[in-house]
Amino acid sequence: MVPTDLRYTKDHEWIRVDGDVATVGITAYAAEQLGDIVFVELPAVGSAVEQFATFGVVESVKAVSDLFAPVGGTVTATNEDLASAPELVNSDPLGAGWIVRLRVADAAQLAELLDAAAYDALIAEG
């Protein structure tokens, strides 16, 4: 069961919105599927991202995967801890393993994301 206070993409990113700032990361399911994460490529603070466009990369011992923005906006912060401890994405994907914070450009885009029940159904399909 995934947390109900988040929204999700079909590409396994999560987003938690607080006012007009959103925290983004990858789901526990994605982290488990990737295996041990060894590197996270982060966007520059101040860069603009478009909804569902690539904003970074996660590299694991199994694969290299693009990160997709759940909503469009401007990067306000990146998780600098991931440079020296990328394994935080595996050990605490919904907490200390967050990846970026965005100033949301259009809150209406949140309606295009999956809620917890829909995301649970997606991962149940495999």
8/36 Cα distance (integer angstroms):
22
Domain range spanning residue 102?
7-118
Structural domains counted in the chain? 1
Q: Which neighbouring-strand residues pair with 66?
A: 57
Whether 126 is in a domain gets the answer no
**Which pLDDT band, with edges at 50, 70 and 90, does 5 fall under?**
confident
Residue 2 domain flag = no
pLDDT tens for residues 94-120?
Answer: 999 999 999 999 999 999 999 999 999
Q: Is residue 13 part of a domain?
A: yes
56 is a domain residue: yes
pTM: 0.94
The CATH number of whichever domain residue 88 belongs to comes to 2.40.50.100
Q: Any idea what the Cα angle at residue 27 is, between residues 58 and 38, rounded to 5°?
A: 30
In the predicted structure, residue 55 carries a pLDDT above the cut 90: yes
- Residue 123 belongs to some domain of the structure: no
